[in-house]
């Protein structure tokens, strides 16, 4: 890390310690709220924004691409595209499903148009496509890089076996290679550590975990018999079992020692894990963003990390 910047392994991308998730833009955050969060993030030195073409088609009245459109309009209105590192994804939106060569070629142009830019810094395969050979997918990504539409490629929601297969194809065929993985990983969701973490460590890929705060559960606002006004409340509440309460208690204890907030501590634990470069977390208000940005200033010691790891075992 250089000051408040981290270079993603295998790339020339230098980013803030917190990647701002764009999944709430056009969903639980309207245009004005999204612009406010993006402004506050940039003013604090943030430069890494993550979205997808599918965000957020499930909301009534939406069709998909809303988040990219909001981010693109913000970039254009602030004239700051060159200051930002932009990540988006292809493959999970019903309008542009899968990782075929044809779909990737069409989807990237759609995303570029909505984002109002001529290139994407980090382009993800949003999820594995078992119906398309990895040779076809990676050849399509390789063409995008050669055309200057994409700078680097990455994978999301891949198993260790399928990621290893893709890396082998890239090496064998001389094609562009995934430089990072975006998995579901946080203090209460640790399956990533079994097979994926060792693979990423061996192959030099970086981990950029999503749902870094377990749908808001690790912010500490979810307690028994306490209603929470959030579209993710039901999903987060599922963690409120004996183990979840143990994790929250340890988060509170570590937070108190550091004069920090539980959300900041949870992100700091994640950022300290082997292979993790930058956690991804979203905020629908600037107040929520404050706790996320504090990650850049918080360094947990070995005892803090051990206690949190043991509590979530």
Q: Which residues are catalytic?
A: 55
Contacts of 237 (CB under 8 A, 6+ apart): 217, 222, 228
Tell me the angle at which helices 31-43 and 286-293 cross, rounded to the nearest 10 degrees. 30
Q: Are strands 150-156 and 120-125 parallel, antiparallel or unpaired?
A: parallel
Euclidean distance between CA atoms 126 and 88, whole angstroms: 9
How many residues can be counted in the chain?
Answer: 313
Burial of 27 (0-12, 13-18, 19+ CB in 10 A): buried
Which residues sit opposite 86 in a β-bridge?
49
- What are the structure tokens assigned to 63, written together? 């069709």
Determine the Cα–Cα distance for residues 236 and 214; give it in Å rounded to an integer: 6
CB 308 within 8 A of CB 250: yes
Alpha carbons 131 and 135: distance in angstroms, whole number? 12
Q: CA 40, CA 43: separation in Å to the nearest integer?
A: 5
SS (H, E, C) 123-136: EEECCCCCCCCHHH
């Amino acid at each position: 890390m250089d000051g408040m910047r981290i270079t993603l392994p295998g790339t020339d991308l230098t980013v803030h310690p917190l990647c701002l998730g764009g999944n709430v833009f056009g969903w639980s955050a309207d245009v004005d709220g999204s612009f406010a969060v993006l402004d506050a993030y940039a003013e604090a030195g943030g430069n890494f924004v993550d979205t997808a073409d599918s965000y957020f088609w499930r909301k009534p009245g939406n069709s998909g691409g809303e988040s990219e459109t909001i981010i693109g309009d913000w970039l254009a209105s602030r004239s700051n595209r060159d200051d930002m590192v932009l990540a988006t994804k292809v493959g999970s939106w019903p309008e542009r499903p899968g990782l075929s060569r044809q779909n990737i070629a069409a989807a990237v142009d759609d995303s570029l148009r909505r984002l109002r830019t001529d290139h994407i810094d980090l382009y993800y395969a949003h999820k594995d496509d078992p119906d398309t050979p990895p040779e076809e997918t990676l050849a399509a990504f390789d063409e995008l890089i050669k055309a200057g539409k994409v700078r680097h490629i990455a994978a999301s929601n891949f198993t260790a076996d399928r990621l290893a297969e893709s890396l082998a194809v890239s090496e064998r065929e001389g094609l562009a290679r995934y430089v990072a993985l975006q998995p579901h990983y946080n203090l209460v969701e640790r399956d990533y550590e079994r097979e994926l973490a060792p693979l990423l460590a061996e192959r030099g890929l970086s981990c950029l975990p999503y749902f870094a705060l377990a749908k808001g559960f690790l912010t500490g606002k979810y307690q028994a018999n306490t209603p929470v006004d959030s579209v993710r409340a039901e999903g987060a509440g599922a963690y409120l079992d004996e183990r979840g309460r143990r994790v929250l208690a340890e988060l509170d204890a570590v937070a108190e020692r550091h004069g920090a907030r539980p959300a900041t501590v949870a992100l700091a634990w994640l950022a300290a894990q082997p292979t993790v470069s930058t956690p991804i977390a979203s905020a629908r208000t600037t107040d929520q963003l404050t706790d996320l940005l504090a990650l850049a200033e918080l360094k947990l010691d070995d005892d803090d990390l051990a206690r949190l790891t043991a509590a979530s075992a």
